[in-house]
């Protein structure tokens, strides 16, 4: 089963979930705000995805953080920020049989699911 991680009110998440639904791809949506998030999951993400890509530095949540919270970031500090502010995680994180993919574009998903589309 495909798992898609994110937050429900994110426009990119809505597009990704719509793509999966329209292509009749069974999936489970995990909402960080509703279902929770723990260090084990973020560490799992960081094993396959670069934490610097996983940390959404372009979003409003990151930009509104105090400068001291953004200074000298390393993986440990980034994980702590992601736990405290789940909206700071780039979305969606897609888990296809244990293989993680980050973000959404029509082309990316068509390539990932080429046998189904």
> d(Cα 100, Cα 92) in Å, to the nearest integer?
10
- Backbone φ/ψ region at 61: left (φ over 0), alpha (ψ -120 to 50), beta: alpha
Active-site residue list: 10
């Amino acid at each position: 089963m495909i798992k898609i991680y994110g937050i429900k009110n994110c426009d990119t998440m809505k597009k990704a979930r719509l793509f999966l639904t329209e292509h009749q791809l069974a999936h489970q949506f995990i909402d960080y705000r509703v279902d929770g998030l723990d260090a084990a999951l973020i560490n799992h993400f960081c094993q396959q995805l670069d934490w610097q890509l996983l940390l959404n530095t372009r979003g409003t949540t990151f930009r509104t953080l105090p400068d001291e919270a953004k200074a000298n970031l390393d993986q440990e500090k980034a994980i702590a920020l992601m736990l405290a502010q789940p909206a700071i995680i780039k979305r969606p994180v897609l888990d296809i049989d244990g293989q993680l993919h980050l973000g959404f574009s029509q082309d990316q998903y068509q390539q990932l699911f080429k046998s189904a589309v």
